[in-house]
Structure 1
Amino acid sequence: MESYKDVSELQAGTLLKEDVYCKTKYPIMRKGTELTLEHIEVLRVFGVNQVKVEEKLNNSDETNPDTSVDTDNTSDNLYWLKNPYDKAVQDYKREFNNWRFGQLPEVAKIRSFIIPLLEKFIAQKSMLAMINEFSTPEEYLYHHPIAMGILSAAIGKKMGYEKGDIIQLGLAGTLADSGMAKIAPSILEKTTSLSQEEFNEVKKHTLFSVKMIQTTPLIRQEMKLAILQHHERLDGSGYPRGEKMETILVFSQILAVADVFHAMTSDRLYRPKHSPFKVIEMIKEDEFGKFDIKVVDALQNLVGNLSIGTRVKLTNGELGEVMFLHRDAPLRPMIRKDSDGLIIDLSTNRDLVIEMIIE
C-alpha cells in the first residue's frame, strides 16, 4: 500500500515510491530506495517533510506487479548490446582497411550499422558509462570511433537537439578519425608514447578526415566542420588551427568531449584506463577552460548522475552506497561502505573515486 508519510514517522525498510527532490534539478533520493536510518536522517537534514512510500511486503503474494519498481538489469543489457557493438567495430575495421588503400568512406554503409547501434545505447543510458568496458587495447583504433559516435549522439540528445542533429552527430563522431587511415601503421600501432614528430603526423588526421568525406551529401557542412575542429580547444591550445571560443562550433565541442572521455576511460597499449568519474572530474578541473561546460555537464548527467541510495564501486574495490551529495562536488559524495558500515567522504579522500555505478 502506498501513501504520503511524514518523515518523522518513517521506519527503516520502507520503500520510496517516487523520486525525492529538494530545490534540486535531480533527485536527492531515487524511487525504489529502501530507506535506512541514515536515509531518513538525510531527508531531515534536507528539510523534507513528506515522501510517498510503500511499506515493504514480506509476502510475495501480496506484491502488486503494477506498483513494482522498474529495474535495469545491467548484465542482461551488457550482453544484449555487446554483440551488435562488436559487429559494428568489425564492420568499421573492414571499412578502415579499405580507406588505407585509397577508397573513400561509403557514408551510407556507415549509417546502416551505426544508427541502429546508437539508438540502442541511447535507450539504455546506463550502458553509456560502461561503453569503455567493450574496448580492447589491441583494437582501440576501431573501437574508439564507434564509441565516439554513440557518445556524441547521446550528448546531443541530452542537450535537446532534434533527431536529425543527433543522427548527424553520431555519423560525425564515427567518421571523425577516418583520416587515421592515412597515418603510418607504425605510428598507430606503437605501444609506447609518441615522439613529438610522430604526434605531429597524427595531428594531420583531422584534415585527412574532412578531405575524405568532403564530397558526400550525407553529412552536413557544419558536421564536416565539427570533424575538422574536434581537437580544437576553447582556450586556443588545440589543433589543427588553434582556434578559440566563438569560432568553434558546439557540435565540435560535443565530438571533442566524447573523444576525450572515451580515450581516457579506455585501456591503451601504453597506459591504463581511468574511472569515468575521474575523467569527468579531470575534464572539469585539470582541463578547465578547454571545453564547453554545457557539453561536459550533459556528459556528466549521462554517465555520472548520482543520487542518495545509488550503489557504487570505488577504485579500491570497495562497494557501498551514496549517503550524501555535496552541492559543489557531486562526483565526490559520502559513501557508506558495505564492508564495515563506515562512511567515507570522497571530497576529502582525494585518492579514491567512484569506479562505476552498480545497478
Structure 2
Amino acid sequence: MEVYKNISDLRVGIILLEDIYANTKYPIMRKNTELSFERIEVLNDFGVKRVKVEERVVKKDLPDGEQDSSVNPEDVLENIPMNHYLLKKQYNDAVRAYQKEFNNWRAGLRPDIVKVREFIVPLVEQYIKQKDMLSMLNEFSTPDDYLYHHSVAVGILSAAISNQMGMEKGDALQLGLAGALADSGMSKIDSSILKKTAFLTKEEYNEVKKHSLYSVKMIQDTPLLRQEMKIAILQHHERLDGSGYPRGDRMETISVHSQIIAVADVFHAMTTERLYRPKHSPFKVIEMIKEEEFGKFDLKVMEALHKLVGYLSIGTRVKLTDGELGEIMFVHRDAPLRPMVKKESDGMIIDLTTNRNLAIAKIID
C-alpha cells in the first residue's frame, strides 16, 4: 500500500517509493531504499517532513540466532515510534554532554551555563511535548553513570511538573536548567564516596549533604538563572516538615520551585537502579512518597507528578511487579495507584488495595 508518512511515523523496514531530495542536486536517498533507524535519522537531520513509502514492513530472513545489525537492541524495541527513538538519542547525547561538563567541574573549571543550556533546554522542550516518554526515564539510567542520568532526568521532570502545574513556559525551562544543575556540586565531593556501593557512614553522608551549597556557589554569578531558581537549587533537599538540609527550612520558607526539583529528585532516585539498591516501580514510588513521606512535599506538586507518570485508567494493559500482565478493570477513587487488575494468564482479578505485596510495574502499550 502506497502512502505518505510523516518522518515521526516511520518504522524500520519500510520501503521508500521515491527519490528523496533536500535542496540537493542528487538524491540523499534513493527509491526502493529500506529504512533503518540510521537512515530515518538522516532524513530527519535534512529536515525532510514527509515521504512516500510502501506501508508493508519488510522482515528480513536471517539465520537462526542472528540479529539485524541495523537495530541496536539496547537502544530500541521493535517497532518503537521514530520520535521516541530520536528523543532517547537526544537524551543519551545530553547525558554524555553533561558527563563531560561534570568532569570539567571536577577539574576545577567554572560551569559553562551557556553550554549546559544548549543541550538541556531543547531536550526538556521535547519531553514536555512527548509526556508519554517521562515514565521511561528510569529505564534509561545505568548504575555506573547514575549521577549524569539523574541530573538530566531531574531537569526534564522539573520542567514537566512545572508545565503540568500551569506555569509559564519560561519558568518551566528555567526549572529544567536549575534541576539539571542542582547536583553540580557533587563534582566537589570525593569520588570514592560517590562510587561507594555500601551505605555511607555518618561522616560521608554529612559530606554529601554539602553538595547543594557547592552547587549554588558554582552558579551564583550566572545571569542565565533567575534568583528564585538559584534558591531552588540551594533548597532542593529541604522538606516542609523541617527534616531536610542544608538549613532545615520549613513550610512557607521553602519555595514551590524548590519543591518541584525536590520531588523530581526523589522520584527519579527511587525509580532508578543504584549501585547499592534496586529500583522501584514509578507507581510504587509515588505511593511511597505520598504515604511514607507525607508532610515533606507539596501535595500540588505530587499531584502534578501523579498525573504525568502515574495516571491509570480502565482498560489499560499493565505489568505487575511479579511479572504478570493484566488489564485494569476498576480504579479506586481513594487509591488510584492500586486498581483491580485482571491477569492475562488465568483471568483472575486481583485487587491491589488488598494485595499490598504487588504493585503496577509499568504500562504496556
Normalization by structure 1: what TM-score?
0.79
Residues 81 and 120 in structure 1, CA contact (< 8 A), matched pair in contact too: yes
The match for 1:285 is 291
Q: CA deviation at 1:160?
A: 0.2
Residues 1:118 and 2:129 are matched in the alignment: no
**Paired amino acid for 2:230:** K
Partner of residue 41, structure 1: none
Which amino acid in the other structure matches residue 250 of structure 1?
V
Larger relative contact order, structure 1 or 2 (CA cutoff 8 Å, min sep 6): 1
CA RMSD in angstroms, aligned pairs only: 1.0
2:219 is the counterpart of 1:188 = no
Q: Which amino acid aligns with 2:263?
A: V
Question: In the alignment, which of 123, 145, 150 is matched to residue 139 of structure 1?
Answer: 145
1:223 matched residue in structure 2: 229
| 1:183/1:201 contact within 8 Å kept | yes
Say if 1:78 and 1:137 are closer, same or farther in 2 by CA, change over 3 A. farther
- List per-residue Cα deviations over 1:277-307 (Å, max 9, x = no partner): 0000000000000000000010000001111
The equivalent residue for 1:335 is: 341
Which letter maps to 1:132?
Answer: N
Instruction: Summarize the alignment of residues 95-114 of structure 1 with structure 2, pairs less than 5 Å apart.
Output: 95-114=101-120
For residues 164-243 of structure 1, the aligned pairs below 5 Å read 164-243=170-249
Asked if 1:318 corresponds to 2:352, the answer is no
Helix, strand or coil at the partner of 1:356: strand
CA distance in 2, matches of 1:312, 1:76: 23
List alignment gaps of at least 5 residues for structure 2. Answer: 1-78
SS in 1 for 2:337: strand
Query: CA shift at 1:355, angstroms?
Result: 0.3
Q: Distance between the aligned counterparts of 2:260 and 2:110, measured in 1? A: 25
Asked if the contact 2:125–2:173 (Cα under 8 Å) also holds between the matched residues in 1, the reply is no
Equivalent position to 1:163, from 140, 147, 169: 169
Moved more, 81-90 or 204-213: 81-90
* Aligned pair partner of 2:273 in 261, 267, 273: 267
- The 3-state SS of whatever aligns with 2:153 is helix
TM-superposition CA deviations, 1:57-78 (whole Å, max 9, x none): xxxxxxxxxxxxxxxx766554
**Aligned runs of 1:83-98 on 2, under 5 Å?**
83-98=89-104
Separation in 2, partners of 1:115, 1:311: 33
What letter corresponds to residue 120 of structure 2 in structure 1?
Answer: I
133, 136, 141: which one aligns with 1:127: 133
State TM-score, norm by structure 2.
0.77
What CA distance in whole angstroms lies between the structure 2 residues aligned with 1:340 and 1:76?
A: 35
1:304 aligns with 2:315: no
Deviations 1:98-157 (A, max 9, x none): 101111111111111011111121211111011010000000011100000000000000
Alpha-carbon distance between aligned partners in 2 of 1:74 and 1:265, rounded to the nearest angstrom: 22
Question: Which segment drifts farther, 78-87 or 208-217?
Answer: 78-87
| Partner SS state of residue 138, structure 1 | coil
Listed as ranges, the gaps of 5+ residues in structure 1 are: 1-72
Deviation at residue 80 of structure 1 after TM alignment = 2.5
Residue equivalent to 1:42:
none
Q: Distance in 2 between matches of 1:314 and 1:308?
A: 15
- Segments of 4+ moved more than 6 angstroms: none
Q: Which one-letter code corresponds to 1:122 in the other structure?
A: I
The amino acid that maps onto 2:141 is S
Q: Post-superposition shift, 1:195?
A: 0.7
1:308 and 1:265 mapped to 2: Cα distance? Answer: 24
The number of equivalent residue pairs is 287
**C-alpha contact 1:88 1:113 (8 A) present in aligned 2:** yes
- Given that 1:77 and 1:127 are in contact with CA atoms closer than 8 Å, whether structure 2 keeps it comes out as no
CA distance in 1, matches of 2:83, 2:297: 31
Residue pair 1:125, 1:302 contacting (<8 A) in 2 also: yes
Q: Percent identity?
A: 71
